[in-house]
Amino acid sequence: MNKLVIALFTAGFLMTGLTVQRAEAVPITGAITFAGGAIFDTNSLATATRVNTFENVTVMSRDGGFTGFVNVNDSVTMATPWIFSPSSPTPGLWSVDGFTYDLASSTVVLQNANFLLIQGTGTIMGNGFDPTVGTWSFTSQSPDASGVFSFSAGSNSPVPDGGTTVALFGFGLLGLGLLHWKLLATS
């Protein structure tokens, strides 16, 4: 009887060890925002089609997976020119502290002489995380903002648990099996 119990526990621990040590994908979660200056290809937001130069771009906020890697006020490198109309994929649209954002596509949501709003999707990668699809938005106001823009990107990907749930389920089944075996042995 004791040999069977020891064999069952050994099998359970072996199964748990193999399950918990399995590598899982770790997507980036959270959001990051930037602000800085943008010089467009025209003097009017209503007719702009690209950003020729970005100036003094810094991190304004960050959370989730960006915390611990990125600090508020860190400098951000932006790719130029950035052509947003028509939408053009832009590898390395931004990078900061080991993270890079590859722009896949964008849509001009609102564009007039006073306001520009662009939204789209791309892939955020870096610092040991798996490449993660994320959404983003870019806004600029004119003339009061003097070319200052705001950019935000983020991902709400679920975080896997690394196999812990499966291991706990296995222990529960093992416990039920032992209880059933114990009840049969005492009857």
Long-range contacts of 9-16 (CB under 8 A, 24+ apart): 9/174, 12/170, 12/171, 12/174, 15/167, 15/170, 16/167, 16/170, 16/171
Mean pLDDT of the region 72-84: 95
- Chain Cα centroid distance, residue 182: 49
Mean pLDDT of the region 8-29: 57
Q: Which of 81, 103, 187 is nearest to 151 (CA)?
A: 103
Residue 79, beta-bridge partner list? none
Report percent pLDDT > 70 for the chain: 63
Name residues whose C-beta falls within 8 Å of residue 93's C-beta, 6 or more positions apart in sequence: 78, 79, 82, 101, 102, 103, 122
The answer to pTM > 0.75 is no
- Chain Cα centroid distance, residue 149: 22
